[in-house]
Amino acid sequence: MSTTQYYLETTIRKTLGSGVDLAYASPALVSAYINASPDRRFEQSGVGGNRSLEPVPKYKQTISEKVIENGRNAWIVLGVDRNASALGGHGGRGQTQCASIDLVAGRMGGYVRDRDDDGRVIEVNPDFKVDAARIYISQKADIDDYFECAEGACGNSIGQSAIGLKADDIRVIARKSIKLITGTDNKDSTTDKVKELTGIELIANNDDSDMQPLVKGNNLVKALTGLWDQINDLNQVVQHFLMYQSAYNEKLLSHRHLGNIQLPSGKRYTAVAFEMQPEGNKCIIEHCAGTQTSLKNHQSNMTAWNKNYLSGLVDETYINSKNNKTN
């Protein structure tokens, strides 16, 4: 930006505010604006929907296109399918049944200017990458290629009727419900039979390297509930095993074989295995105080887990959404 241009823009920013970007506006127009009368400046200020000094590129219109524009870089183009030059798209190749409607706000996006560095008028074609915001409707298009979309599992749309939307941010808002539906007809817009239903794909960051199927919530609840039942049954199995093993261990520690020691009753027994007593008693204590307590805590935790995530009784943690569904 030249010193003159910088001065002019700085001056006009003081007049119109920081939301004005006239970096590539015509210096002659900006200078004339600054030196004009207050009424004339207001007419060129953009305030209240008036004209503006902002640069707007010239659109390269083809013979078959009807162009509606407002001098503020908003466009509606009725024509045939093209995503770039007059030779681009299906319309550029001379095909039929490829009517299109191109709605654009902000051609050239943040690079907008109406003249190059040599003062020549800039003429532009549709630019699906750079233009600020676009709704593109075409009877026949390669819509994924135009918008450089990841192929995904369903592949790219080639030569099909399509609608594409692109902007910095997109909001789809409904006061009631929104449905995303595929596979409504047996034939496509060219009367060809629809051979494959590919469903809906959600691709973040245009990265399709790890595409996976969505989970059905009710089926997942059923599967996890069955798993919970199996884990709970296993807890009971271990509980019963622990009970029987503890009883057996107590008998084993006090067990004596027939031997040389004569008891008052006249029976002869060997002494108990004293070297087993410490470890045996420790095992019994661990079973009662440790393992059995852990099993009870585990059972309590599993019950809480089932209630929180699978029962639907706790809205904040239930794994299924109340509002959003898929098939």
pLDDT for res 199: 84
Most confident of 160-174, 216-230, 300-314: 160-174
On average, the pLDDT of the chain sits at 81
pLDDT for res 62: 97
Spatial distance between the Cα atoms of 37 and 39, rounded to a whole number of angstroms = 5
Residue range 177-204: mean pLDDT, rounded: 85
Spatial distance between the Cα atoms of 103 and 68, rounded to a whole number of angstroms = 10
> pLDDT higher for 115 or 258?
115
> Which of these ranges, 12-26, 98-112, 191-205, has the smallest mean pLDDT?
12-26
Q: Same domain, yes or no, for 9 and 66?
A: no
pLDDT for res 251: 62
pLDDT for res 164: 97
pLDDT for res 176: 92
Q: Which long-range contacts (CB under 8 A, 24 or more apart) does 294-299 make?
A: 295/235, 295/238, 295/239, 295/242, 298/235, 299/232, 299/235
Which of the listed residues 143, 178, 213 is the one where a domain comes to its end?
Answer: 213
**Count of structural domains within the chain:** 3
Q: Which DSSP state fits 170?
A: -
Tokens of 79: 């024509």
The pTM of the full predicted model, rounded to 2 decimals, is 0.74
pLDDT band at 323 (very low <50, low <70, confident <90, very high): confident
Q: Same domain, yes or no, for 129 and 85?
A: yes
- Residue 321 maps to a domain: no
- Residue 324 maps to a domain: no
Which of the listed residues 31, 49, 67 is the one where a domain comes to its end?
Answer: 49
Q: Same domain, yes or no, for 72 and 150?
A: yes
Q: Same domain, yes or no, for 60 and 150?
A: yes
Query: What's the one-letter identity of residue 232?
Result: N
pLDDT for res 250: 63
CB 57 within 8 A of CB 24: no
Task: Please choose, from the candidates 29, 28, 55, the residue with its C-alpha nearest in 3D space to the C-alpha of residue 43.
Answer: 29
Q: Same domain, yes or no, for 166 and 84?
A: yes
Q: Same domain, yes or no, for 192 and 247?
A: no
Q: Same domain, yes or no, for 99 and 186?
A: yes
Percentage of residues in the chain with pLDDT exceeding 70?
70
CB crowding 38-64: b at 16 or more within 10 Å, else e: eeebeebbbeeeeebbbbbbebeebee
pLDDT for res 90: 97
pLDDT for res 2: 58
First-to-final CA distance of the chain:
56
Quick one: angle between helices 217-254 and 292-305, nearest 10? 170
For residue 268, CA distances in Å to 103, 258, 261, 273 come to 106, 6, 5, 16
Which residues form the domain of 107? 55-213
Residue 241's Cβ-side half-sphere holds a number of Cα atoms within 13 Å equal to 8
pLDDT band at 75 (very low <50, low <70, confident <90, very high): very high
pLDDT tens, 201-246?
889 999 999 888 888 888 899 888 888 888 888 877 777 666 666 6
- Look at the block and give the residue holding tokens 């600020």: 132
Percentage of residues in the chain with pLDDT exceeding 90?
34
CB 107 within 8 A of CB 75: yes
